[in-house]
Structure 1
Amino acid sequence: MAFHEVRLPARLAFGSTGGVERRTEITTLGSGFERRSTPWALGRRRYLIGANLRSLDDMAALIAFFEARRGRLYGFRFKDFADFKSCAPSGTVSAGDQALGVGDGVRTAFALVKLYGDVARPIAKPVEESVRVSVGGVEISGFVVDAATGTVRLAGAPAAGAPVTAGFQFDTPVRFDADRIETTLESFDAGRMAAVPLVEVRV
Structure 2
Amino acid sequence: MAFHEVRFPTDISFGALGGPERRTQIVTLSNGYEERNTPWHHSRRRYDAGMGVRSSADLEDVIAFFEARAGQLHSFRWKDWSDFRSAKGQAPITPEDQEIAIGDGETVTFQLRKEYRSGAQSYARPIAKPVRATVRVAVAGNEMHEGIDWSLDDTTGEITFVAPPESDAPITAGFEFDVPVRFDTDTIQIAMSRFNAGEVPDVPVVEVRL
User: 1:33, 1:97 → 2: CA distance?
Assistant: 40
Q: What's the TM-score once normalised by structure 1's chain length?
A: 0.94
What is the CA deviation profile of residues 5-58 of structure 1, one whole-angstrom value per residue up to 9, with x for unaligned ones?
A: 110011221311101111111111111111110001011111011234242222
Matching residue's letter, 1:108: V
More helix by share: 2
What is the CA deviation profile of residues 83-126 of structure 1, one whole-angstrom value per residue up to 9, with x for unaligned ones?
A: 00011242211100111111122211110000112211000000
| From 109, 113, 127, the counterpart of 1:123 | 127
Match of 1:91 in 2: 91
Pair 1:194–1:163, CA change in 2 (3 A): same
Tell me if the contact between 2:14 and 2:81 (Cα under 8 Å) persists in the aligned partners.
no
Unmatched runs of 5 consecutive residues or more in structure 1 = none
Q: Secondary structure at the match of 2:63?
A: helix
Tell me if the contact between 2:130 and 2:177 (Cα under 8 Å) persists in the aligned partners.
yes
Tell me if the contact between 1:183 and 1:191 (Cα under 8 Å) persists in the aligned partners.
no
1:32-111 map, 5 Å: 32-111=32-111
Q: CA RMSD in A?
A: 1.8
User: 1:42, 1:51 → 2: CA distance?
Assistant: 26
Pair 1:18–1:30, CA change in 2 (3 A): same
Pair 1:79–1:89, CA change in 2 (3 A): farther
Unmatched runs of 5 consecutive residues or more in structure 2 = none
Q: Secondary structure at the match of 1:51?
A: helix
1:151-162 map, 5 Å: 151-162=158-169
User: 2:18, 2:52 → 1: CA distance?
Assistant: 14
Tell me if the contact between 1:113 and 1:120 (Cα under 8 Å) persists in the aligned partners.
yes
1:127-166 map, 5 Å: 127-141=131-145, 142-166=149-173
Tell me if the contact between 2:47 and 2:206 (Cα under 8 Å) persists in the aligned partners.
yes
What is the CA deviation profile of residues 135-194 of structure 1, one whole-angstrom value per residue up to 9, with x for unaligned ones?
A: 01111102111000000011211111111100000000011011111222249x998541
What is the CA deviation profile of residues 53-75 of structure 1, one whole-angstrom value per residue up to 9, with x for unaligned ones?
A: 24222211110100011101111
User: 2:203, 2:187 → 1: CA distance?
Assistant: 8
Percent identity of equivalent pairs: 49
Q: What's the TM-score once normalised by structure 2's chain length?
A: 0.91
Matching residue's letter, 1:185: M
User: 1:62, 1:53 → 2: CA distance?
Assistant: 8
